[in-house]
Amino acid sequence: MGKVLENEAFGLAAKDNSGVLSPFRFSRRETGEKDVRFKVLFCGICHSDLHMVKNEWGVTTYPLVPGHEIVGVVTEVGTKVTKFKAGDKVGVGCLVGSCGSCDSCTEGLENYCPKSIQTYGFKYYDDTITYGGYSDHMVCDEGFIIRIPDNLPLDAAAPLLCAGITVYSPLKYHGLDKPGMHIGVVGLGGLGHVGVKFAKAMGTKVTVISTSESKRDEAINRLGADAFLVSRDPKQIKDAMGTMDGIIDTVSATHSLLPLLGLLKHKGKLVMVGAPEKPLELPVMPLIVERKMVMGSMIGGIKETQEMMDMAGKQNITADIELISADYVNTAMERLQKADVRYRFVIDVANTLKPNPNL
């Protein structure tokens, strides 16, 4: 094998919709004047990675290197980079670019920019396809780099770049972060468990809403929720009706919204952050009669993501993870399909992703 160039990268890629990832060698761009290059240490596995690998949303371009919960250490910065230096602990979430001039961008909400560029599987400015964090290093414009607080373990901080901001953003934007408010969190998975942690850190009363009674002890005694409701128990739901200021619904399976709307107070807000494959039925009368609201939310802008990460550092908030080796990724994908993870897989990239000299 010849000399390894600085911009030569190695990772894991899906070559088709079989769901299998295999070793893949590719090139990163040279470090531009506004770019930050960093060695990837860890990368979380998000459920959207699984959807994209299998092309379940119909937008995948192969080969696909997934991963948008990426953390590592800076190795090089461009000549016009001002925010970061070699040795800094940094991360990249779901975005690596946006137009910078639309209303969303000027408001610091690059995630809603119609020309936003996602971290993998999207066309970049130079017409190349972006590759994600299942790889040994990244190059990214400094405007989309997040600083990771020194006190946070990098492996457990990685999922905050997607799961963390996904629940933090709606809590902040919709004013559901006021101490003493009563917040419901539907689902206790990768998103839900982090939602409980952030809502509690904001000083709210938190009730976990789940289909399974078996998660009660986990929710209350380990994650710190104040209460637990089984959504399939009519009596429990009836007793809690009209008590919640807001609900963050993290469930991606088809489910009824009517019981959740019943739990809300007058003017209460139901925020959808899970993405069911099939449309949900929306009962209109509760919205009309009690001015209740249903809305959606998708990750957050870069400024907001940094605020989330800074709060995580101050409050010592991390995701609960299962650290895996790179050669376990395909098994992890199979387990993720069955929701067999507590609560986020994170790949130990630096220690286990080794270049294949035969590629």
DSSP 1-49: --PPPTTEEEEEEE-STTS-EEEEEEEPPP--TTEEEEEEEEEEE-HHH
- Give the start-end residues of each E strand in the chain: 8-14, 21-27, 35-45, 70-77, 89-92, 95-97, 117-118, 137-141, 146-147, 182-186, 205-210, 227-230, 244-249, 264-272, 293-296, 321-324, 344-348
CA distance 116 to 112: 7
C-alpha neighbours within 13 Å on the C-beta side of residue 24: 22
Burial classification of residue 355, based on how many CB atoms lie within 10 Å of its CB (0-12 exposed, 13-18 middle, 19 or more buried) = middle
What are the backbone angles phi and psi of residue 146, rounded to the nearest 5°?
-110, 135
Contact 228, 210 (CB under 8 A): yes
CA distance 249 to 309: 22
Residue 51: which H helix or E strand, with range? Answer: helix 47-53
Per-residue model confidence (pLDDT) at position 253:
87
Residue 355: which H helix or E strand, with range? Answer: none
The C-alpha angle with vertex 117 and arms to 76 and 279, in degrees rounded to 5, equals 140
Tell me, what amino acid is at 120? Y
CA distance 211 to 251: 11
Per-residue model confidence (pLDDT) at position 359:
57
Contact 9, 131 (CB under 8 A): yes
* pLDDT tens track, the chain, 359 positions: 333 446 899 999 999 999 999 999 999 999 999 999 999 999 999 999 999 999 988 999 999 999 999 999 999 999 999 999 999 999 999 999 999 999 999 999 999 999 999 999 999 999 999 999 999 999 999 999 999 999 999 999 999 999 999 999 999 999 999 999 999 999 999 999 999 999 999 999 999 999 989 999 999 999 999 999 999 999 999 999 999 999 999 998 899 999 999 999 999 999 999 988 788 999 999 999 999 999 999 999 999 999 999 999 999 999 999 999 999 999 999 999 998 998 999 999 999 998 876 65
Write the DSSP string, 294-331. Answer: EEE--S--HHHHHHHHHHHHHHT----EEEE-GGGHHH
CA distance 303 to 144: 9
> Quick check: helix, strand or coil at residue 82?
coil
- Residue 31 tokens read as 């470090």
